[in-house]
Amino acid sequence: MPGLPEIFPELHTQRLDLIEITTQHLQDLYHLFTNPQVTEFYQVIPLQEPGDAQKIVGMLSQRFKDKTGIRWGIAPKGESHLIGTIGYNTFTRGHRSTIAFALLPEYWGKGYITEAIAAIVQFGFDVLKVNRIEAEVLPGNMASEIVLRKNGFHHEGLLRQWMLWDDTHYDINMYALLKDDMNHK
Ligand SMILES: CC(C)(COP(=O)(O)OP(=O)(O)OC[C@H]1O[C@@H](n2cnc3c(N)ncnc32)[C@H](O)[C@@H]1OP(=O)(O)O)[C@@H](O)C(=O)NCCC(=O)NCCS
């Protein structure tokens, strides 16, 4: 039966290790998700101190336990500290998934996210067996639109008031990659 395995599936790329996020990473998550450049177009639970990142670790590990989603920590190869996270917030086996990613600004511009997206896209199609991978991008988030296009995603349009966060509705640009798109590369 395709889907998420019991043991957390680490992935490895040329320069990165995609690993399980644990309480050992509270400081790294706090650092990442309180950076105003990261949160400009990326909605996260507000964090007051590193200990608050426990809420994020708890939510992500529950999601994996329930087999409804998976988030990897992005670590430079051979290291255990995180420079970002990437994963699927939701997925339906045999159908579709939603990708999300974020990287510390000091690591931007090196193509790391492009590398990480390629690895988890392969995981999505091969292991989760999804047919379609979606990304919801807030208007103005040019860097995300460019990395998605670099990974073969197509812009499908602006979905009006598609996203609900803190009682506010946000328009989003819908990007998607189909399994068929991979066959026609
Ligand atoms: C999205 C994100 C991961 C991209 O990381 P990155 O390391 O800059 O990505 P890359 O270097 O692989 O590619 C970014 C591209 O966008 C370009 N770019 C970046 N900001 C840009 C801007 N404001 N306008 C136009 N182009 C821009 C870069 O030049 C680069 O293009 P190139 O490959 O042709 O040189 C990073 O910006 C981030 O963490 N953002 C905050 C979190 C977020 O918004 N996540 C997305 C939620 S859907």
Q: 3-state class of 81 per DSSP? A: coil
For residue range 16-42, list pLDDT tens digits in order.
999 999 999 999 999 999 999 999 999
The answer to whether the CB of 137 is under 6 A from ligand 1 is yes
Give the pLDDT confidence score for residue 3 in this predicted structure. 86
Atom of ligand 1 nearest to the CA of 102: 39
88: which residues sit within 8 A by CB, 6+ positions away? Answer: 69, 70, 71, 97, 98, 99, 100, 120, 124, 128, 133
Look up the pTM and report it: 0.96
Domain architecture of the chain: domains with CATH: 11-134 (3.40.630.30)
| Distance between first and last Cα of the chain | 28
Best mutation site among 144, 148, 151 for ligand 1, i.e. most ligand atoms within 8 A of its Cβ?
144
151 ligand 1 Cβ < 6 A: no
Ligand 1 atom at minimum distance from 109 CA: 11
**pLDDT tens digits along 34-79:** 999 999 999 999 999 999 999 999 999 999 999 999 999 999 999 9
Q: Is 159 in the pocket of ligand 1 (CB under 6 A)?
A: no
